[in-house]
């Protein structure tokens, strides 16, 4: 079954993606459903999707599927029809990207996991389908305006750092499994208030809201389709947008702009900036925020030390990082000693792309 895995190196795949004129659409979807043979289901999807050039990252577990992919526009209807032919995925909502140049993924990777989102919860101890009430964008805005409503960001610190909803509680956590107990602690004594949870596409809140219901919170809601679907609805309907800044995404784009406010700063100089990047030193690969000026100064590196390594001939760089490839250092981001500036600009004074100055709200 070796043909059910990619065998081309990533550098070549990236070059191929950037050189092709093919138009692609980035989308995501998830569904909690009992899958009896995840490996067989995984192989079925890989075979069918690779034949029509689908790229992306997909997790499959006995509890369901979590997918972020990109599809060539000419194959989109073929993909959708074949997806909806799978009983438990028939009619599943496809969240399409807000800002999309078609270069979000360059490889198809489908992995079998213990869970489609790492949460370390014992699912047998509570009913995961007993989740919070789903809210569309209009209902979210209405509930967000009520005095007894608490909005909780169920994402990680590096996500909420560049964008979040107005007045949201943003736990300072590195992973989703840390977000659950952190949110519960922040909500002590609030079990009778309206608790509105949100995340990128809805999957984390599906589990988190069910957990909060299990823990005795009486009025739990979740943003249906997450930030992605919210942004689509407010844009199409002309409703008020209560999301400030960028929506962090886990693909090559690393973010899509929802509003013009910039609420974070360059980690190297402290100037307003919300552009995530990975350190060019592949042995570091730290995920951090960097402005254009610092990108030129540090050759797209996170520090002078990494700058010196990148300046070396490629064979020497390769030898230095042998056995040290770090992947996306999302957990280290913002915790590294190389990060000199990390702060959220207060809600009362965001930097606006329109004005080029502080926009008092």
Q: Are 361 and 260 in contact (CB under 8 A)?
A: no
The Cα–Cα gap between 66 and 30 comes to 4
Half-sphere exposure of 128 (CA within 13 A, CB side): 18
The Cα–Cα gap between 255 and 78 comes to 28
The H or E element containing residue 203 is: helix 203-214
66 DSSP β-pair partners: 30, 59
Active site residue 279: no
Residues in Cβ contact with 95 at an 8 Å cutoff, skipping those fewer than 6 apart: 27, 28, 29, 201, 202, 225, 226, 228, 229, 232
The Cα–Cα gap between 82 and 297 comes to 49
C-alpha distances in angstroms, 88 versus 4, 33, 85, 91?
A: 23, 7, 9, 9
Q: Are 349 and 360 in contact (CB under 8 A)?
A: yes
Q: Which long-range contacts (CB under 8 A, 24 or more apart) does 295-301 make?
A: 297/268, 298/268
Exactly one of 170, 199, 205, 266 is catalytic; name it. 199
C-alpha distances in angstroms, 132 versus 111, 249, 341?
A: 28, 24, 37
Catalytic residues: 199
């Amino acid at each position: 079954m070796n043909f059910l895995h990619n065998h081309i190196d990533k550098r070549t795949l990236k070059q191929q993606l950037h050189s092709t004129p093919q138009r692609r659409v980035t989308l995501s979807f998830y569904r909690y459903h009992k899958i009896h043979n995840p490996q067989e289901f995984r192989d079925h999807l890989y075979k069918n999707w690779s034949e029509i050039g689908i790229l992306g990252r997909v997790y499959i577990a006995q509890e369901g599927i979590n997918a972020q992919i990109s599809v060539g526009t000419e194959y989109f209807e073929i993909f959708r029809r074949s997806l909806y032919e799978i009983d438990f995925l028939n009619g599943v909502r496809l969240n399409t990207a807000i800002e999309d140049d078609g270069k979000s993924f360059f490889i198809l990777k489908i992995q079998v996991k213990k869970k489609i989102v790492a949460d370390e919860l014992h699912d047998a101890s509570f009913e995961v389908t007993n989740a919070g009430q789903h809210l569309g964008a209009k209902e979210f805005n209405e509930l967000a305006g009520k005095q007894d409503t608490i909005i909780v960001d169920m994402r990680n610190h590096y996500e909420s750092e560049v964008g979040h909803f107005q007045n949201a509680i943003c736990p300072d956590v590195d992973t989703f499994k840390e977000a659950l107990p952190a949110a519960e602690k922040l909500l002590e004594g609030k079990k009778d208030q309206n608790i509105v949870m949100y995340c990128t596409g809805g999957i984390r809140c599906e589990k988190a809201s069910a957990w909060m219901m299990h823990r005795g919170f009486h009025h739990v809601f979740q943003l249906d389709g997450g930030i992605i679907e919210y942004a689509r609805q407010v844009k199409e309907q002309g409703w008020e947008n209560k999301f400030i800044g960028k929506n962090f995404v886990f693909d090559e784009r690393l973010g899509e702009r929802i509003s013009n406010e910039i609420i974070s700063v360059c980690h190297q100089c402290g100037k307003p900036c919300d552009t995530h990047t990975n350190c060019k030193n592949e042995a570091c690969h730290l995920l951090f925020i960097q402005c254009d000026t610092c990108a030129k100064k540090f050759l797209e590196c996170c520090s002078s030390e990494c700058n010196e390594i990148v300046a070396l001939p490629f064979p020497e760089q390769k030898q230095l990082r042998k056995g040290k490839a770090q992947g996306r250092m999302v957990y280290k981001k913002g915790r590294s000693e190389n990060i000199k500036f990390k702060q959220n600009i207060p809600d009362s004074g965001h930097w606006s792309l329109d004005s080029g100055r502080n926009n008092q709200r």
